[in-house]
Amino acid sequence: MKRSIYWLMAAAAGIVVANNYYNQPLLAEFALAFHASERQAGTVSVAAQTGYALGLLLFVPLGDKLERRSMLRTLLCIASLALVAVALSPTLNWLVAASFVTGLASVAPQLLTPFAAQLAGPQQRGEAVGIVMFGLLCGILVSRSISGTIAGHFGWRTVYWLAAAAMLVTAVVLSRMLPRGQPSYTGTYLMGSLWTLLREEPLVR
């Protein structure tokens, strides 16, 4: 597999994971926009991270059971719609709910990482995973600066309009550039076997 595919996946991982961190430098602006305290506005960040954690728990195990490219496209489209809902938020409660759904659907990096490992094979697996994780970490670190800069010039809603567009572009690019990721697991949904795996598989622990 060409190394450029791994860098494409790294870029996608960074763009998607950023959805969960755009809100952090914008909490004061949320509070001002919705006439709330900064503590109340902080629930936006909590909701995004809670949705992200739940998405990891519910959706990432499906990556071994469903075709990964189609799953990525679906999640990115949902994330785009959720980001549009954030941009259109009329109330703080709406913003909190939309941020939760955004986090829930922004788990593509954790699907891309094992996908890269699968495509690379044993010889290049470490390099492929490292490249994708590099993109993910860059997305986390840079997202706050980007959102703060854009919001300072164009307002916080613009951040989310641009993020929604980025999700659609990423979905199209990944659909065209990535090969189909055939499922590697034919059993039942893995959620039911998590405790068994933890108990019986030292590598998982």
pLDDT at 204 over 80: no
At residue 181, the pLDDT reads 65
Per-residue pLDDT tens for 52-88? 999 998 888 787 777 888 899 999 999 999 999 999 9
Q: Global pTM?
A: 0.87
At residue 184, the pLDDT reads 64
pLDDT at 189 over 90: no
Give the burial class of 35: count Cβ atoms within 10 A of its Cβ; 0-12 exposed, 13-18 middle, 19 or more buried.
exposed
**Cβ distance 137 to 12 under 8 Å?**
no
201: DSSP letter: -
One of 3.60.150.10, 1.20.1250.20, 1.20.1420.30, 3.20.20.60 is the CATH number of 3-200, namely: 1.20.1250.20
180 vs 197, residue with greater confidence = 180
pLDDT at 196 over 90: no
**Cβ distance 136 to 10 under 8 Å?**
yes
Per-residue pLDDT tens for 95-153? 999 999 999 999 999 999 888 888 887 778 888 899 999 999 999 999 999 999 999 99
Q: Read out DSSP for 135-191? A: HHHHHHHHHHHHHHHHHHHH-HHHHHHHHHHHHHHHHHHHHHHSPP---S--SS-GG
CA distance 156 to 29: 7
Residue 178 binned pLDDT confidence (cut-offs 50, 70, 90): confident
CA distance 197 to 59: 17
Provide the residue ranges of all domains of the chain, joining segments of one domain with +.
3-200
Residue 193 binned pLDDT confidence (cut-offs 50, 70, 90): low
At residue 179, the pLDDT reads 85
At residue 192, the pLDDT reads 62
